[in-house]
Amino acid sequence: MGPDSETRHRRIRSGWVLSMALALGVLGFVAAAQWNSEVQRASYTTSAQQALSAQALTLEQEQEALQVQLAGVEADLTEIQHQSEGSQTALAEVNRAVGEARLAAGLTAVSGPGMVIEIADSRRTVPAGENPANYIVLADDLRDLVVALWHAGAEAITINGERLVATSSIYGVGSAVLVNTGFLSPPFRIEAIGPDDLEERFRVDAAYLGRVAQRIEAFDLEFATLSADDLQLPAFIGSTSLRWAVPVEEAP
Amino acid sequence: MRTWVAQVSLALIAMLIGITLVAQFRSQARPTALSSLPVAELSTRIQTLSDANRQLRTALAEQRDLLEAYQAAGAQGFSALDVSREEVRRIRAFAGLSGVEGQGILVRVSGSLDAIAVNDLLNELRNAGAEALSLDDVRVTASSVVVQGARTLEIDNVAIGRTFTLVAIGDADGLVAALQRPGGIVTQLEQFVRATITVSPTEALHLPATARDLAPRAAVPVE
């Protein structure tokens, strides 16, 4: 083996050593990050946390049961009002007004053309030093999408099945988004009934282009839209009681 | 031989990096299962769920009373008529189709708020339990949104000036507390948008009905 050959072999060995060191360095860094997050996660599983999550689960189940019961009573009421429509003129007229008011208020299930939006957290790995919150869907994003939809002419909107009404808010609570009484998690599916060109109008709306579209692009949030010929949206199931607001209009 | 060993070693390291990266990515994802939520978030969720369930129980009791009233009315058409009239009044007020009055708060805003900020303010009031809202005498309905018009902000095609008044009917103490909590929306807007916001609890407020026709054109009721 001549000196040239030895030098070449030494260079190749140095290259391998460098590559291996680099790979091991990356592995060490990622493993450390992973270990840290595991430690953090393990610290969550305290007995207090277990008790609280069991309590939250019980409350969620109770809420589902209450909503089913409320939907049943609402259906019985609608049935009675429908039955009386044909009986007496005055009663029939008032019950038609009840039906119209329920439709306008979002208390009736509806169908029609419209669009569907699906949005979910980014699949991209959060780069070191960046805020992980940038890569998840925020309540702000859903609000922007809903504002754009209403402005584009939507007549009825649901988010993961929660129908939006006059008292609905979209609120970030920890890692979940609270809509009406439901804690929603991604992927978020927004369905909207409106004019045939709803999707085109939505796509150029300033409320969509202003912030959420930029976040979708910048942080690679999962996002898709689809026009639909026949959507079915459920009625709002929840409290419509007015405790503080007193109607001032005379009934028809 | 050496090359073979080096290739296998590199392949193993690459595989380990891949597995660890996937695990790391998963651990960065937002926790969605209840059991993985932090204690503070669980406490907030329990409080919110308890409040919501209380509201749902009240609503259920009221709707059952209404159903009983109909059933008791039976063939007596006049009683059923009264029940239905009350139902129309309540639902029209809920939707914004009729005027309402009651206690609540007046929020006077002055400054260069953009559409997002005003929509956030409306959202905050709804979340705090406002039963009815108006912005400069325009009744806010489910589909009322603030947008940037050609010159000024607009709601339901009505221009909003740099100074405007929001009226919310609801529990005045609760609404004030929600808006003025430390780090809340009023603090944020005053700091970041340079707005002046005054919140005043008021005993007797009146909100008009919406001027819009809320009857849907594309959406039809499902029987």
The mean-pLDDT minimum among A13-17, A71-75, B4-8, B37-41 falls in A13-17
With bands split at pLDDT 50, 70 and 90, how would you rate the model's confidence at B74? low
- The whole-number pLDDT of residue A36 equals 53
Q: What percent of chain A has pLDDT over 70?
A: 79
Whether pLDDT at A228 is above 70: yes
SS3 B167: strand
Question: How far does Cα B101 stand from its chain's mean position?
Answer: 21
The mean-pLDDT minimum among A20-29, A198-207, B35-44, B168-177 falls in A20-29
Q: What is the pLDDT of residues A60-103, one digit of tens each?
A: 999 999 999 999 988 888 887 777 665 668 888 888 999 999 99
> In chain A, which residue's Cα lies nearest the Cα of B129?
A167
> In chain B, which residue's Cα lies nearest the Cα of A95?
B84
Q: Which of A122-126, B1-5, B49-53 has the highest mean pLDDT?
A: A122-126
Whether pLDDT at B28 is above 80: no
- The whole-number pLDDT of residue A174 equals 85
Whether pLDDT at B41 is above 90: no
Residues B75, A208 contacting (CB under 8 angstroms)? no
Residues B92, A249 contacting (CB under 8 angstroms)? yes
Contacts 24+ apart (CB under 8 A), A83-88: A84/B77, A84/B80, A84/B84, A87/B77, A88/B77, A88/B81
Contacts of B14 in chain A (CB under 8 A): 23
> Bigger pLDDT: A19 or A243?
A243
Query: Model pTM greater than 0.90?
Result: no
- The whole-number pLDDT of residue B47 equals 85
Measure A94 CA to nearest chain B CA, in Å: 6
Q: What percent of chain A has pLDDT over 90?
A: 63
Average of pLDDT values for A118-133? 93
The mean-pLDDT minimum among A162-176, B6-20, B137-151 falls in B6-20
Report the mean per-residue pLDDT for chain A: 86
Sign of CA dihedral A55, A57, A59, A61: negative
Contacts of A246 in chain B (CB under 8 A): 93, 100-102
Average of pLDDT values for A37-46? 52
The token pair that represents B98 in the structure block: 């009729």
DSSP B141: -
Is B77's CB within 8 Å of A90's CB? yes
Average of pLDDT values for A124-134? 91
Count CB neighbours of A73 within 10 A.
18
The token pair that represents B66 in the structure block: 């209404």
Chain A contact present for B31, CB below 8 A? yes
Whether pLDDT at A251 is above 50: no
- The whole-number pLDDT of residue B129 equals 94
> Bigger pLDDT: B216 or A175?
B216
Is A166's CB within 8 Å of B140's CB? yes
> Bigger pLDDT: B173 or A49?
B173
Q: What is the pLDDT of residues A132-143, one digit of tens each?
A: 999 999 999 999
**Residue A14: exposure state from Cβ atoms within 10 A (0-12, 13-18, ≥19):** exposed
- The whole-number pLDDT of residue B20 equals 61
- The whole-number pLDDT of residue B5 equals 73
- The whole-number pLDDT of residue B194 equals 81
Nearest to B24 among A30, A106, A181 (CB): A30
**Residue B179: exposure state from Cβ atoms within 10 A (0-12, 13-18, ≥19):** buried
Nearest to A44 among B38, B126, B221 (CB): B38
Chain A contact present for B131, CB below 8 A? yes
Chain A contact present for B145, CB below 8 A? yes
Whether pLDDT at B1 is above 60: no
> Bigger pLDDT: B205 or A250?
B205
- The whole-number pLDDT of residue A246 equals 96
The mean-pLDDT minimum among A172-186, A223-237, B164-178 falls in A172-186
**Residue B156: what are its φ and ψ, rounded to 5°?**
50, 45
- The whole-number pLDDT of residue A252 equals 47
Whether pLDDT at A208 is above 90: yes
